[in-house]
C-alpha cells in the first residue's frame, strides 16, 4: 500500500480518525454543496453528486447533514460559493504532492498551504510541476468483507475496469476517468453502493521514504488533513512494511 491512503490507514489505527469526525463531515458536506450547485440536487442526473453521496455515506455522515449540504448547494444559499483549486509541490523526502481544495477565499488557502509546506520542509510548486507523475483515473472502493477478491475481480473487469487492488480492508477498482460512473453503476447493481466512487490522482511510480523522513511526512500530512479547505491529498510515497508495523503497533 502506498500514497495518502497509507497515511489514512496509519492515523485510523492510531485512533485519530474519531477525533476528526466533525472536520471530516465538514469536508464531505462542502463537496456535496459544490456538487449540487454545479449539477443540481438529483443524483441520478448528477454523477458528481452521486459520488459525493457515496463518499459521505462511506464516512458515516448523518443523513440530515447530507440533506442540508445538498439543499444549500441547490438553492445557492450562503456558503455555497466555493472555488476549486489544485496545488502541487514536494513534501519531506522529495515526494510529489497533488492537493485539491475547495475554498471561499483563494488568498487565505494559498497562504495556509504554502505555510504548511514551508513548516515541514517541503516546497510549493507551480501547477503542472508534479501532476505529470500521476494519472487521473476513476477509483471505486468496496469493503473487502463485502465480497471475495475473485468475484470482485471478475465483475470489475467484465464491467470495463483496468485493475483491481485488494488488501485486508478494501477492493480498489481502477478505471479510466470517462468510465467511472458507468462502471460504478454496473458494480452497484451486483454489490450495492460502494464506499466511494471518485476521480483520483494515482501515482505512476512510488518513492521509498527514508525511515528518518517518515515522522516528518506523517506530520506534514496531518497538517494538510487538518486544513478545512483541503479536500484530497495524493502523493507518490511508499513506506517499508517494517516501519509501517512499528507505526501501527
pLDDT of 42 reads 92
Q: How far apart are CA 35 and CA 73, in angstroms?
A: 7
165, 171, 177, 181 alpha-carbon torsion, rounded to 10°: 150
- Can you tell me the distance from the alpha carbon of 45 to that of 25, in angstroms, rounded to the nearest whole number? 24
- Looking at residue 1, its pLDDT comes to 40
Residue 96: the pLDDT is 95
User: Is the separation of the CB atoms in 27 and 64 below 8 Å?
Assistant: no
- Mean pLDDT in consecutive groups of 10 residues from the start of the chain, 249 residues: 49 53 88 91 89 88 93 75 92 92 94 95 93 94 91 95 90 93 91 88 89 85 91 87 64
Secondary-structure class of domain 14-74 per CATH = mainly alpha
- pLDDT, position 210: 83
Q: What confidence score (pLDDT) does residue 13 get?
A: 46
Do 14-74 and 83-132+206-239 have matching folds?
A: no
Euclidean distance between CA atoms 194 and 185, whole angstroms: 9
Fold type of domain 83-132+206-239: Alpha-Beta Plaits (3.30.70)
Q: How is the chain split among helix, strand and coil, in percent rounded to 5?
A: 50, 25, 25
C-alpha cell at 41: 440536487
| Domain 133-203: which CATH number of 3.30.465.10, 3.30.70.980, 3.40.50.620, 3.40.50.2300 | 3.30.70.980
Q: What is the pLDDT of residue 18?
A: 57
DSSP state of 125: E
* pLDDT value at residue 238: 82
Question: Residue 248's pLDDT is what?
Answer: 56
What pLDDT is recorded for position 213?
83
Nearest-CA neighbor of 82 among 181, 234, 228? 228
**What are the extents of the domains in the chain?**
14-74, 83-132+206-239, 133-203
Instruction: Give CA–CA dist 230/228, Å, rounded.
Output: 6
Amino acid at each position: 500500500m502506498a500514497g495518502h491512503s497509507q497515511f489514512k490507514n496509519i492515523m485510523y489505527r492510531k485512533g485519530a480518525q474519531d477525533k476528526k469526525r466533525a472536520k471530516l463531515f465538514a469536508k464531505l458536506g462542502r463537496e456535496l454543496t459544490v456538487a449540487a450547485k454545479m449539477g443540481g440536487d438529483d443524483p441520478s442526473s448528477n454523477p458528481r453528486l452521486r459520488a459525493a453521496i457515496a463518499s459521505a455515506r462511506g464516512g458515516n455522515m448523518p443523513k440530515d447533514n447530507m440533506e442540508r449540504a445538498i439543499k444549500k448547494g441547490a438553492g445557492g444559499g450562503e456558503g455555497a460559493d466555493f472555488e476549486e483549486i489544485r496545488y502541487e509541490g514536494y513534501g519531506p523526502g522529495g515526494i510529489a504532492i497533488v492537493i485539491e481544495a475547495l475554498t471561499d477565499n483563494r488568498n487565505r488557502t494559498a497562504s495556509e498551504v504554502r505555510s504548511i509546506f514551508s513548516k515541514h520542509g517541503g516546497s510549493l510548486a507551480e501547477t503542472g510541476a508534479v501532476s505529470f507523475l500521476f494519472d487521473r483515473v476513476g477509483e471505486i472502493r468496496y469493503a473487502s468483507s463485502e465480497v471475495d477478491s475473485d468475484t470482485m475481480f471478475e465483475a470489475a473487469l467484465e464491467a470495463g475496469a483496468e485493475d483491481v487492488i485488494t488488501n485486508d480492508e478494501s477492493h480498489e477498482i481502477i478505471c479510466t476517468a470517462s468510465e467511472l460512473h458507468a462502471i460504478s453503476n454496473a458494480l452497484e447493481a451486483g454489490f450495492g453502493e460502494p464506499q466511494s466512487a471518485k476521480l483520483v490522482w494515482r501515482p505512476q511510480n512510488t518513492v521509498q521514504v527514508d525511515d528518518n523522513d517518515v515522522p516528518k511526512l506523517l506530520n506534514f500530512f496531518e497538517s494538510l488533513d487538518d486544513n478545512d479547505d483541503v479536500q484530497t491529498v495524493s502523493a507518490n510515497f511508499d513506506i517499508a512494511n517494517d516501519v509501517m508495523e512499528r507505526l501501527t503497533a
